[in-house]
Structure 1
């Protein structure tokens, strides 16, 4: 899932650097020492905000039209866009567990339980190998 959101960037008043606010994601505020860093931090903060919503079973908020988002309430502020690759971010940072129910033969279950097999670990390892995912 790829998303984009308007972001308001403005220079800090009391210290060097910049602050970024993503108005569509309440409380999503970050800062950086350079313009490049503040954009990187904005992408990271917005991605983390959206990932939390997704892991809680919610849809991400709809992005506002950039023409309707104004950073002029801040001196020298401007509006830009941040682009989020949620699949990549979730693969790297997502950690919420999801319960999966599967069926195996009773005889195999008996052998596995006697050997103290961790079923979740075996399934995770098999999926990682099957999907060629680097964990």
Structure 2
């Protein structure tokens, strides 16, 4: 479980959420409930992108709210996000002889499935 501080401010009729220590991770909403829900979503998206691109997750920072700010903590269960990022499909281009391609297509063989099976077998998984 990760716990990140989130600063919420209100300007006119819009609530804004920002995560101290996380660059370009922010959102807004028309109510406190909406901005908190949006903050969870944007944090999950940031974590997903970082896991997918093998970028180290920054440690949550400490923050002391100013008078006009509301400080809350957003908790995120990281394992499902990490699992989803690791299960992403990756497109690969490969070359096989034409005769093998034609015969495989005749038999309606799923190339992706065969390649995954062969790779797992080769890797001992």
TM range (shorter): 0.5 to 0.7
| CA displacement 1:43-70 (0-9 Å, x = unmatched) | 10011011101000122111113xxx13
> Which stretches of structure 1, 4 residues or longer, exceed 4 Å deviation after superposition?
89-95, 111-114, 121-124
Tell me the CA shift for residue 7 of structure 1: 0.5
How far apart in 1 are the matches of 2:36 and 2:75?
Answer: 10
Separation of aligned partners in 2, 1:38 and 1:60: 23
The answer to whether the Cα contact below 8 Å between 2:2 and 2:77 also exists between their aligned partners in 1 is: yes
**Structure 2 equivalent of residue 131 of structure 1:** none
Q: Distance in 2 between matches of 1:89 and 1:56?
A: 13
Among candidates 55, 69, 78, match of residue 86 of structure 1 = 78
* Whole-angstrom CA distance in 2 between matches of 1:35 and 1:94: 33
Cα distance change of structure 1 residues 76 and 90 upon mapping to structure 2, 3 Å threshold: same
The change in CA–CA distance for 1:16 and 1:27 in structure 2 (over 3 A counts) is same
User: Paired residue for 2:120?
Assistant: none
Match of 2:14 among 9, 13, 17: 17
Structure 2: gaps of 5 or more residues: 92-102, 117-125
Distance 1:122 1:23, change over 3 A: farther
Count of aligned residue pairs for this structure pair: 108
1:47 aligns with 2:44: yes
The Cα RMSD (Å) is 3.3
